Amino acid sequence: MDPSHQVLLVLVGIMAAAMPGLLLYASARKTIVRMNHEMAKRRDVEHELRISESRLREAMQGTETGLWEWNPQSGEFYLDTVWFTMLGHKADTMPHTFETFESLLHPDDRAAALKVVENIIDERRERFEMEFRMRCGDGSYRWILSKGRLLETDTAGNVSRLIGIHTNITEQKMAQEALHESEQRFRRLVAQSPVAIQVHDIDGKLVLSNPAHARLYALNEQTIAELYDKYNVRQDEQARRLGVMPYIEKAYKGEDVIFPPYEYDGIDTLKTLNFKNPVSRKCWVQSHGFPLKDEHGKITSVVFMSENITEHKKSEQEVINYQRRLKDVASELARAEEKERRNIATDLHDHVGQSLAVLRMQLAAAMGKTTDPAVVNALDDVSESLRQAIQETRNIMYDISSPMLNELGLCAAISEWLKVHVADKHGLQTQFNDDGEDKPLCVDTRAILFRNVRELLVNVVKHAAAQRVSVDVARTGDNIAITVEDDGCGANLDMDTKQQMQGRGFGLFSVEERMRDMGGSLAIESTPGHGFRATIIAPLEFE
């Protein structure tokens, strides 16, 4: 038995002798035995604890996690060798005191760290942790995470022993700072981007938008706050009506999509969602959507980036209107040209042609009144010249405006021109087909179509090296379709048209422009060595 316990028993015996009652002595002795047992158990626990601490210190050797122990009452401060190795200091040259620890704290962290220590002691916290920077042997600093617990207090309740571990977390802190800086850059990028950015979660709810988004739709702060609460891009009825919902869903399926331009009315959507403060506007928008994925490739959100193209659309519409006016003017010029051609052809026929014909008749009458061979021969020469002049005049009249076109119509004029100027003049085999359907056209339109067909046939004669050419005229619904097809050398339409067609380019361009001006079209089909097929289509004109 411990000597102190023996003394205590003697004292208790004396007190028992002095005081009546054997029961009191027995009770006191039982209490002393229990105290003795508890103290022995405590010594065993402390022994096991120190063995565990010793083993833990040995296990931590060579790592960047070590142990510390501090007795605020005695000032004893223990730091294991891991701590010194981690910071690049020599353990045998630095005293194990709290002052040593304090002196190595980063100036910016010292006050906060000491305040935590003070609170630990004052408030007797059982567990605690804190982060701070410590100066290394080379003057640099490392981040340390210190975790600890209150292990003992003295009889007065004061903290007498604190113990814990310290870990080098410099790399983790640097990674956190890099991540934080990356997040800050991302936020600055989003905030300062001139392009409107919206981020929606997987369900379609708005989770992030930038100032450019507010500017795009003229939203105020209250409206934006309501957007986060009420708006869902996957339930946008206006987007559904505008036909852009399929593009939104493609982005949610993992595709990178560019939306067609659309005119979005912000007020309409806000009113539909019963916004308290529906402040917005209507504007033309060009949007781009793409998904954001995690490290496993799972879609976590979808981003939509939008630009205001209202001014661009206005300019585009102005250009379209200007082009429409130009086409109207071009059409009017074409009609005026055809009308003037008819007038000129009529004047040539009524005045020049008739005058030449009358003059030849008069010359023939004069030839009957003379018998002088020399005069007769001279008059014959003049008569032949007049005949040729009359023929040339007729040819000019026909080139300017076909009399057949005005008298018998488009199909008759094309058929005649095909025979006279292609078959008879150039020796090509020709074929003309008319489906016989009614094809109502005004005089000016007939003239433009005849001119275009003639241009196509001239191209065949000059450039196709063809043996055969055909023209088909048919009614297709409310349109007239005229097809000119040859069996010539053809062309490679995938290459430069003007170069491959050996001069056809300008004529075809003129035909295409005239057809477009009148609301029609020109379609070309050709391959090298397999002929050339051109089809002009124009709307019929009903009263």
pLDDT at 238: 95
pLDDT classification of 321: cutoffs 50, 70, 90: confident
pLDDT at 496: 46
Average pLDDT over the chain reads 81
- Nearest-angstrom CA–CA distance, 487 and 235: 59
Which stretch of 233-247, 276-290, 520-534 has the lowest confidence by average pLDDT?
A: 520-534
In DSSP terms, 162 is beta-bridged to 70, 150
pLDDT at 25: 47
* pLDDT (average), residues 66-70: 82
Which is nearest to 166 in space by CA: 104, 73, 93? 104
Angle at 220 between CA 218 and CA 224, to 5 degrees: 100
Which stretch of 58-72, 223-237, 256-270, 298-312 has the lowest confidence by average pLDDT?
A: 58-72
DSSP secondary structure, 462-514, as one string: III--SEEEEEEEEETTEEEEEEEE-S----TTS-HHHHTTTHHHHHHHHHHH
Which stretch of 50-59, 237-246, 455-464 has the lowest confidence by average pLDDT?
A: 50-59
pLDDT at 38: 62
For residue 95, the 8-state DSSP code is: -
The answer, yes or no, to whether residue 47 has pLDDT greater than 90, is no
Contact 113, 130 (CB under 8 A): yes
pLDDT at 497: 47
Over 98-139, what HEC string results?
HHHHHHHECHHHHHHHHHHHHHHHHHCCCEEEEEEEEECCCC
Tens digit of each residue's pLDDT (9 = 90 or more) over 137-157: 899 999 999 888 887 787 777
Q: Determine how many CB atoms are found less than 10 A away from the CB of residue 464.
A: 24
pLDDT at 254: 94
pLDDT at 219: 93
Tens digit of each residue's pLDDT (9 = 90 or more) over 199-215: 999 999 999 999 999 99
Tens digit of each residue's pLDDT (9 = 90 or more) over 1-39: 555 555 445 444 545 455 554 454 455 556 665 666 666
Annotate 157-176 with b (16+ C-beta within 10 A) or e (fewer).
eebbbbbbbbbbbbeebeee
Over 330-384, what HEC string results?
HHHHHHHHHHHHHHHHHHHHHHHHHHHHHHHHHHHHHHCCCCCHHHHHHHHHHHH
Contact 162, 70 (CB under 8 A): yes
pTM of the entire predicted model? 0.49
Q: Tell me which range, 290-304, 331-345, 389-403, 489-503, is most confidently predicted by mean pLDDT.
A: 290-304
Which stretch of 123-137, 227-241, 507-521 has the lowest confidence by average pLDDT?
A: 507-521
pLDDT at 376: 76
Contact 517, 327 (CB under 8 A): yes
The answer, yes or no, to whether residue 541 has pLDDT greater than 70, is yes
The answer, yes or no, to whether residue 500 has pLDDT greater than 50, is no
* pLDDT (average), residues 58-75: 71
The answer, yes or no, to whether residue 260 has pLDDT greater than 90, is yes
The answer, yes or no, to whether residue 104 has pLDDT greater than 80, is yes
36 or 457: which leads in pLDDT: 457
pLDDT classification of 217: cutoffs 50, 70, 90: very high
The answer, yes or no, to whether residue 445 has pLDDT greater than 90, is no
pLDDT classification of 70: cutoffs 50, 70, 90: confident
